[in-house]
Structure 1
Amino acid sequence: MEVIHEWINGQNSFWWGNVLIPLLLGLGLYFSYRTKFVQFRLIGEMFRLLTDKALVTANGTKGVSSFQSFCIGAATRIGTGNLAGVAIAITAGGPGAVFWMWIVALLGGATSFIESTLAQVYKVKDKDGFKGGPAYYMQKALKAKWLGILFAFFTVLSFGLVFNAVQANTISSAYNTAFGIDEKVMGIGVAILTGLVIFGGVKRIAKVSEIVVPFMALFYLLIGLFVIITNITEIPAVLSLIIKSAFGLEEVVGGTIGAAVMNGVRRGLFSNEAGMGSAPNAAATAVVSHPAKQGLIQTLGVFVDTLFVCSATAFIILLGYGSGMEGLDGIALLQGTLTSHVGSWANGFIAISILLFAFSSIIGSYYYGETNISFINNNNKLLLTYRVAVIAIVLWGATAKLQIVWDLADLSMAFMAIINLIAIALLGNIAFKVLQDYMKQRKAGKDPVFYADSIEGLENVEAWEPKGQKEN
């Protein structure tokens, strides 16, 4: 096992350091420039779109609304990465890692817009309404189904399996720290709950996410706000520490500039998923009148995830770190620092929070895997095998070693993101034109509507009718 772990670490260093980080940040800058910084310019429009009601599909059923799609995306974004992931980034890369998490989110907002808009353009019909994602736009727009299958494989591996092991590991660790519950017992309990939800289909996933995610995120943010307000005089010093450490200007444990960038970008991507190709799977399910609407909705999700939830965790840790916490890592560090702020009840609060955060991530991640399983082979036996494997990996992850689980997640995530980033770099012009069409209609005072022939030369578009025919 030690030899395998060393190999995984070596692969992570190569792919992240030489390929993924330059590609992720470079494309983030490029997409920001080409969209005239859509992630900042249209922030008000993003909030307005949350109130859009779901349209009715051709078969007469009510589709997944923009808000529900936002929540499915948020369910996988807002999870272990926002709590344990931030703690790991700080201990491995120093406080400067937080700065690089912010950069990934700010630039990644534009990347998220591109990938989610493309997912809407090339979505396909299914029994629940619509499905789609990078595998589908690779097949339809790039005419490279082989690349779509490769991406789908890594999505199933990353989200359906490895990421869910991370979520289960964090849940079991938090409950062992707070209540002394054996990791195996928690693993069994989470696996049973997972099975009950994933056999209910996407509508149940959307419903659970719509109820759980806003509540858990808001409550956690209120706790973070309380910590910040009660330590308001120390905020300037913490911000200074984050900035200085980000550029290697202040010596802290694990705080070299290389470690700060590497860990900040890794944990930032794991948390907000901008460019990874996962959120487009949720974006494609929404029944909206124009693809750009979901591009904007998912961009908002990136900001909520990192700039609010991850930042809350970072401030809790950096404002509460003290003697006796040197050996703590992951979720245990967050529990220890929050306890120093609000008292011993924090252990139980974080345990309950991580159950809600991580469990919603498990069901959202499962859906991403299901969508891509059907792309590879629409076989009921394969889907059943996948569902059983998800439950089994939740059981395994609950008792596995923390570092092995996270490093394996980093590697599978790297391959998935690299494939998607190359694809959206090639297809970016389509998303730019979709945004132009959207803005033209908005400036004319219209509620934008998209048609298959709204963009000249657009091919293999299944879900959008030509102009003059009724939209699905």
Structure 2
Amino acid sequence: MFSGIVEAYGKVIGTLSNWMYSYILIILLVGAGIYFTVKTKGVQFRALKEAIKVVMEPKDDEKSISSFQALMVSTASRVGTGNIAGISTALCIGGAGAMFWMWLIALLGSASAFIESTLAQIYKRKAADGSSYGGPAYYIQAVLKKRWLGVLFAAVLIVTYMGGFNMVAAFNISDSFRRYDFYQPGTTPLVIGLILAVIFGICIFGGSKRISKITEVIVPVMGIFYIAVSLFIVITHLNLLPGVIVSIFKGAFDISAIFGGFAGSAVMQGVKRGLFSNEAGVGSAPNAAASAGVSHPVKQGLVQMLSVYIDTIVICSATGFMLLCSGVIPEEGIAGMPYVQEAVAGSLGSVGSVFITVALFLFAFTTLIGNFYYAEMGLRYICDKTPKKLIMNIFRIAAALIVCMGATMDFSVVWDTADVLMGLMALINLPVIVLLAKPALRCMQDYFKQKKSGKNPVFKAKDINLETKTDFWN
């Protein structure tokens, strides 16, 4: 009976996922990205150098985390299994052309990321210890005066990140061991799930401050090492690179393939995996952005914009070129970790399989931690204060159990569940940031006006005629 329920759920969630990404979300994501690119005059291109400069500034407020720490928390969530197993899945199902659509979603989405994170900074709240917190739920309540909508967003955020996304991360760690001789389908995923849940539990019971400390160390090291290995594989197969580039652009505009089966097309797979990977416009990164202590909200908007580039343009591209240059043909039957491991093992031998397992574990583990940080922010909003210790402990135990469960689930069910939940977040957040864009745009103008006059920009709400009272900028 239980297997029948799971099978029925899998069919429903798969159909819903295909419907959402075939019709609503592609239009919404691309439309919002173009709108914000025009309104900000291409801030994601013209201010890229400024974003790199800002990320290295020390924090302005000792009680808050730094821009760099906020970048690492959001990057910890963005840079995860979507950058390895997600890219593999997109290439195996949608073909090489999926890479182009990932890049497009990232380039347009980075403007959306700038707006949502700037808004999170403007309307962030002050905690009892003087630190800051916030996110979409808070700017929804502050400006739209609709707490019920903020609660709905926070609830969907919790289910998406603590549930859907963390199940995907746990599943992909478990799936990466399938290649080894000791793997037993009935027991190995459960054992891995239990070990993962215990390590994860130890980290999250340390609280959000420990999370930012862990991620600011692991994420840069992990990313640099992974890119280095990817580049090595591409360089050793350099003769295949021109053909790979041609296949990406040819596959991206293969009209008969796109309309012959849209659910498995390069467009849908590129959009799905691009959004899953960089989360631009979904409303997750603003929760980390609001925690940063900066002198001007735009600084954190620029930093989170940069995170989208790091995730998709750098790390996802490294994975895509590594896989496509390996010489192993992507096929639907090896989607996910099997394709990655086969491609890397073909270039590096047995050492390659071990490397990719370790890399995936580190990517996925920081994802688990970053995702829980967001879920904790959602719970804080719903409770309208810091949750009681008992509630927080139950919440953390539930998060660890979900990680354990995710390691034992089915490939398509975990991916489709995460896609649908992520889509629901975007359906709430994107229309909201379009409605609330004016304060963020005026804030951007104020920032560059101060920069032009040679100042280190400092924000005051009255300078942009902000009507809503804020905790930090009055």
User: Match of 1:191?
Assistant: 197
Q: Secondary structure at the residue paired with 1:453?
A: helix
User: Match of 1:469?
Assistant: none
CA contact (8 A) 1:178 1:351 kept: no
Kindly report the root-mean-square deviation, in angstroms, between the aligned alpha carbons of the 2 structures. 1.8
User: Match of 2:428?
Assistant: 419
User: Match of 2:277?
Assistant: 271
Give the letter for the 1:12 counterpart.
S
Give the C-alpha shift of residue 350 in structure 1.
0.6
Cα distance in 1, alignment partners of residues 147 and 312 from structure 2: 33
Counterpart check, 1:16 vs 2:21: yes
Q: Please point out which of 428, 431, 434 is paired with 2:437.
A: 428
CA contact (8 A) 1:54 1:287 kept: yes
Cα distance in 1, alignment partners of residues 32 and 322 from structure 2: 32
Give the C-alpha shift of residue 271 in structure 1.
0.3
User: Match of 1:376?
Assistant: 382
Over residues 112-145 of structure 1, what are the superposed CA-to-partner deviations in whole Å (9 max), with x where a residue is unaligned? 0000000000111125611111000000011111
Give the C-alpha shift of residue 384 in structure 1.
2.5
Cα distance in 2, alignment partners of residues 161 and 417 from structure 1: 16
Counterpart check, 1:461 vs 2:463: no
Aligned residue pairs total 460
Give the C-alpha shift of residue 458 in structure 1.
2.9
CA contact (8 A) 1:161 1:389 kept: no
Give the C-alpha shift of residue 293 in structure 1.
0.3
Per the normalisation by structure 1, the TM-score is 0.94
CA contact (8 A) 1:92 1:263 kept: yes
Q: In the superposition, relative to structure 1, how do residues 47 and 404 fare at CA in structure 2: closer, same or farther (>3 Å)?
A: same
User: Match of 1:5?
Assistant: 10
CA contact (8 A) 1:141 1:460 kept: no
User: Match of 1:71?
Assistant: 72
Cα distance in 2, alignment partners of residues 245 and 226 from structure 1: 25
Q: Secondary structure at the residue paired with 1:275?
A: coil
- Of residues 321-330 and 141-150 in structure 1, the stretch that sits farther from structure 2 once superposed is 321-330
Cα distance in 2, alignment partners of residues 110 and 68 from structure 1: 21
**Gap regions ≥5 residues in structure 1:** 467-472
Q: Secondary structure at the residue paired with 2:126?
A: strand
CA contact (8 A) 2:93 2:335 kept: no
Cα distance in 1, alignment partners of residues 19 and 262 from structure 2: 18
User: Match of 1:108?
Assistant: 109
Over residues 419-469 of structure 1, what are the superposed CA-to-partner deviations in whole Å (9 max), with x where a residue is unaligned? 0001001011111101000000000111100112121133031122x3xxx
User: Match of 2:337?
Assistant: 331
User: Match of 2:244?
Assistant: 238
Q: In the superposition, relative to structure 1, how do residues 326 and 433 fare at CA in structure 2: closer, same or farther (>3 Å)?
A: closer
Q: Percent identity?
A: 44
Q: In the superposition, relative to structure 1, how do residues 449 and 258 fare at CA in structure 2: closer, same or farther (>3 Å)?
A: same
Give the C-alpha shift of residue 89 in structure 1.
0.8
Give the C-alpha shift of residue 256 in structure 1.
6.3
Q: Secondary structure at the residue paired with 2:132?
A: strand
Cα distance in 2, alignment partners of residues 394 and 289 from structure 1: 37
Cα distance in 1, alignment partners of residues 392 and 138 from structure 2: 18
Cα distance in 2, alignment partners of residues 324 and 259 from structure 1: 14
Cα distance in 2, alignment partners of residues 457 and 296 from structure 1: 21
Cα distance in 2, alignment partners of residues 323 and 432 from structure 1: 46
Give the letter for the 2:55 counterpart.
L
Give the C-alpha shift of residue 327 in structure 1.
3.0
Over residues 231-255 of structure 1, what are the superposed CA-to-partner deviations in whole Å (9 max), with x where a residue is unaligned? 2222121111011111116869x98
CA contact (8 A) 2:233 2:326 kept: no
Which structure 2 residues correspond to residues 352-363 of structure 1 after superposition, within 5 A? 352-363=358-369
CA contact (8 A) 1:438 1:448 kept: yes
Give the letter for the 2:93 counterpart.
A
Give the letter for the 1:10 counterpart.
T
Cα distance in 2, alignment partners of residues 251 and 292 from structure 1: 41
Q: Secondary structure at the residue paired with 2:472?
A: coil
Over residues 171-216 of structure 1, what are the superposed CA-to-partner deviations in whole Å (9 max), with x where a residue is unaligned? 1111342473522221111111111111111110000000000000
Q: Secondary structure at the residue paired with 2:422?
A: helix
Give the letter for the 1:25 counterpart.
V
Give the letter for the 2:452 counterpart.
K
User: Match of 1:214?
Assistant: 220
Give the C-alpha shift of residue 353 in structure 1.
0.5
Cα distance in 1, alignment partners of residues 330 and 289 from structure 2: 44
Which structure 2 residues correspond to residues 276-291 of structure 1 after superposition, within 5 A? 276-291=282-297
Counterpart check, 1:343 vs 2:352: no
Cα distance in 2, alignment partners of residues 143 and 333 from structure 1: 48
Cα distance in 2, alignment partners of residues 227 and 455 from structure 1: 50
Q: Secondary structure at the residue paired with 2:328?
A: coil
Which structure 2 residues correspond to residues 84-233 of structure 1 after superposition, within 5 A? 84-127=85-128, 129-178=131-180, 180=182, 182-233=188-239
Per the normalisation by structure 2, the TM-score is 0.94
Q: Secondary structure at the residue paired with 2:65?
A: coil
Q: Please point out which of 261, 283, 306 is paired with 2:267.
A: 261
Cα distance in 1, alignment partners of residues 257 and 437 from structure 2: 40
Q: In the superposition, relative to structure 1, how do residues 324 and 94 fare at CA in structure 2: closer, same or farther (>3 Å)?
A: closer
CA contact (8 A) 2:92 2:332 kept: no
CA contact (8 A) 1:95 1:255 kept: no
User: Match of 2:61?
Assistant: 56
Q: In the superposition, relative to structure 1, how do residues 324 and 447 fare at CA in structure 2: closer, same or farther (>3 Å)?
A: closer
Cα distance in 1, alignment partners of residues 440 and 346 from structure 2: 47
Q: In the superposition, relative to structure 1, how do residues 179 and 193 fare at CA in structure 2: closer, same or farther (>3 Å)?
A: farther
* Regions of 4+ moved over 4 Å: 249-252, 254-258, 323-326
Give the C-alpha shift of residue 16 in structure 1.
1.9
- Of residues 77-86 and 194-203 in structure 1, the stretch that sits farther from structure 2 once superposed is 194-203
Q: Please point out which of 382, 404, 412 is paired with 1:403.
A: 412
Cα distance in 2, alignment partners of residues 179 and 368 from structure 1: 37
Q: In the superposition, relative to structure 1, how do residues 219 and 250 fare at CA in structure 2: closer, same or farther (>3 Å)?
A: farther
Cα distance in 2, alignment partners of residues 341 and 18 from structure 1: 40
User: Match of 1:470?
Assistant: none
Give the letter for the 1:440 counterpart.
K
Which structure 2 residues correspond to residues 19-38 of structure 1 after superposition, within 5 A? 19-38=24-43
**Gap regions ≥5 residues in structure 2:** 1-5
CA contact (8 A) 1:96 1:247 kept: yes
Over residues 38-57 of structure 1, what are the superposed CA-to-partner deviations in whole Å (9 max), with x where a residue is unaligned? 00101111111121101235
CA contact (8 A) 1:135 1:147 kept: yes
